[in-house]
Amino acid sequence: MSEKLLIGRTIDTGSWVHSIDPRAKMVAMMLYVVIIILSNTWLEMAYVILFSLIIISLTRIHIKYFIRAAKPLWVLMLFIFIVQCIKVDDKNGAILLSIGSWNLYFEGFKLGLFSVLRMVFLVSFTAILTFTTTPGRLNQGLEGVLKPLKVVRVSPDRFTLMVSIALRFIPSILEEAQIILKAQASRGADLRELPWKEKGKMLVSLLVPVTVGAFRRAEDLVHSMESRGFRLGEPRTKYHRLVWRKRDTIFICFFIVMLVAMVWMSGYGTGELWTL
Amino acid sequence: MAITFNQVSYEYDANSMWSQAALQGVNLHLESGILAGVAGATGSGKSTLLQMFNGILKPTSGTVQVLDITLKGGEKAPKLHQLRKRVGLVFQFPEQQLFEDTVEKDLCFGPINFGYSLEEAKDRARRAMEQMGLDLSLLSRNPFQLSGGQMRKVAIASVLTMDPEILVLDEPTATLDPVSRAELIQLLHRLCREDGRTVIIVTHRMDELLPFANQWIVLHEGLTVFQGTVKALIEQADRMESYGITIPQSIRYWRSLSEKFGWSEEDPCLSAEAMSKRIAHLVNSEDV
C-alpha cells in the first residue's frame, strides 16, 4: 500500500531546485498551470515539454518517479481522451475509424491526445513541488502564499494548520489500516486471497476501527498541543524561517519568461502549420 | 523441524528509492515444542522477523521454511491459508487490531475464516476467554469500550481461538500491569509445556522470560548474532551490550554468584524464587 503511494513523499537529491523557497515553487507551479493551459498548438506544446524536461532534470530526480506520479490518474486520462474523441464532429475531416453511424475523426483523436499530454505534464510536473519540498516547508510556503487572504479575514494559519494535520494523518491512518489488514490476514482473511465480494466486505469492516483510531489520535494531538500552550491565531516564533533569495527570484523568472513566450505565441498565432 | 530460516533478507519498499533493509541474511533453526525468546535493540528487525513466520511478509531473498511450507525469496508464494491457521501471530499493540462490534464476534473471526461452524467458534471463543482469565460477561461488550489491558488480552485470545501449533507474539506484555504480565508469561509457558505448542516471544524485558525460555535468538541490525540455550546466552552475555541490550539483572546476579561459588555446571536459577532457594540451600549447607 505505502509502496505505491508517491504523493507527498520527498525525494532528497540535494539539488538546486530543492533549496528554492517553497513560496517561489508554489507560485511557479501556478504559473506552470497557466502556461500549460495556454499552450494550444503542437509547437507550443513542444516548447512546454522541453521546458518541463529541463526543470525536471534540474531536480536530479529520476524521471521514472515523475511518470509514476501521473500513473494513478490513468482512468481520468482515458476518460478525457474518449470524450474528446466522441465530441469532435468534423464533417470534412479525415475519418480514422467508423463504427456504425459514429465516426472517429482524426481531429478528435488529435485533440484527445493533446489533452492527455497536457494532463500528464500537469500532474507529473507539479509533482516537483512535493518531491523537492518537505511537508513542513511546504506548509510554511502555503502559509506565505495565503497571506494576502488576511485582507478578506481568512486566517492562513488556521488553514495551514488544518492542511498540515491532514497531511500528517494520511500515513498514520494508512499504517493503522495496514496493521488491521495484516492482523486479519493472520486470522485467515488475506485480502489477496479473498474473492471480490469478500474483499469489499473486509474493506468496509475497516472503516469503524480506522475512524475510531483517527478520532483517538486527533484527541491526543489536541491535548498534547494544548498542554504545550498552543493557541490558534496567537503569534508564534518559527523554528525554520523562510528567506527569499536571489535564486528564488531567478526560478520564478524562468516561468514568467515561459509564460510571456506562450502569450506572445498564442497572440500571434505562430506556425499555422502546427495549429491543431 | 518446525522453523528454518536460510539466508533470509527482507527489504521494505524493495526496488524503490526508499528501500530499507530490515533483515540481511538471517539464519535460524527452531525445533517444535520449544519456548523461544527473541531479543534485540529497537530497529534490529525483530518485528519484521516475526511477520515472516506466517508469511505476512515474504522474504526478498533466501528461504523460510515453517512446518511443511516453504517460502522462497523472489518466487510467488503458495496459498498461505493453511500456514496462517497453524501459526498464530499476535502483533505489537494487538489492541489496535480489534475491529468487530462485539468481543465475541472478534474472537469468532479467526475460527470462522478457517471453516469452523458458528457454534464451534463461539465455544472456542469462550475457552480462549477463560484461558486469558477474562470474564465471560465481556463477550457481548464492544471491544472499544474495554480498558487497554483487557483489549490486549482479548486480542491475544482472538489468536488463541485458532488453536495454532506455533504461537508468535510481538512484545505481548508491554503496557500490561505486573500481575497480568506474570500471568500471561505463565500462560504462554503452559501452552508450550502442556499442549506442546511452539511459542516464540519477542521481548524487551528479557528478565521475565529468562526462567521459561529454552532457546534465545538475539538480533542486531538485521542479523542473528546469537542463537542458543540460556546457558550459552549467559556465557556470552558480555557481548550483549555491544548489541544495544543491557544484560538482564537475573543473568548478572547469577553470574556473579556462580563465579564466586563455582556453580557454572549447574542449571542457572534465573527467577527470584529459584535464586532465593539456591541461596538458602547454600546458606544451610555451609552453616554460615
Mean pLDDT by 10 residues, chain A (276 residues): 55 88 93 90 90 92 87 89 80 73 79 90 90 86 86 81 83 84 84 79 80 86 91 79 90 93 74 48
Look at A186 and B89 and tell me if their CB atoms are within 8 Å.
yes
Taking only Cα atoms into account, the Rg of chain B, rounded to an integer number of angstroms, comes to 20
Q: Say yes or no: B36 contacts chain A, CB-CB below 8 A.
A: no
At residue B196, the pLDDT reads 87
pLDDT at B198: 92
The count of CB pairs under 8 A between chains A and B is 69
Mind telling me how many Å the CA of B15 is from chain A's nearest CA?
Answer: 10
Portion of chain B with pLDDT greater than 70, in percent: 97
| Cβ contact B81–A185 (<8 Å) | no
CB contacts under 8 A, B 159-198 vs A, are 159, 162
Cell of B266: 549447574
Tally of CB atoms within 10 A around B234 = 21
C-alpha cell at A97: 475509424
Domain ranges of chain B: 3-247, 248-288
Instruction: Categorize the per-residue pLDDT at B264 as very low, low, confident or very high, splitting at 50, 70 and 90.
Output: confident
For residue B200, pLDDT beyond 70: yes
Rounded Cα gap, residues B286 and B264, in angstroms: 18
The per-residue pLDDT for B1 is 62
Mean residue pLDDT across chain B: 86
- Cβ burial of A225 (10 Å; 0-12, 13-18, 19+) is middle
**Contact assignment for B80 to A212 by CB distance below 8 Å:** no
Q: Where are the domains of chain A?
A: 17-133+243-274, 170-227
Task: Please report residues of A whose CB lies closer than 8 A to that of B98.
Answer: 209
Burial category of A268 from C-beta neighbours within 10 Å (exposed 0-12, middle 13-18, buried 19 and up): exposed
B167, closest residue in chain A (CA to CA):
A186
Nearest one of A149, A173, A169 to A159, comparing CA atoms: A149
Of residues A6 and B23, the one with the higher pLDDT is B23
pLDDT in tens, B30-64: 988 899 999 988 888 888 899 888 888 888 888 88
Contact B158 A187 (CB under 8 A): yes
Model confidence band, residue B180 (pLDDT cutoffs 50, 70, 90): confident
The β-bridge relationship of strands B61-66 and B3-12 is antiparallel
> At which residue does the C-alpha cell 500471561 appear?
B184
Nearest to B79 among A3, A65, A193 (CB): A193
What kind of architecture, by CATH, is found in domain B3-247? 3-Layer(aba) Sandwich (3.40)
Asked if the ipTM is above 0.85, the reply is: no
Are B88 and B164 contacting, i.e. CB atoms less than 8 angstroms apart?
yes
Please enumerate in sequence order all residues whose Cβ is within 8 A of that of B214, keeping only pairs 6 or more positions apart, or say none: B34, B35, B36, B229, B230
B144 has a chain A CB within 8 A of its CB? yes
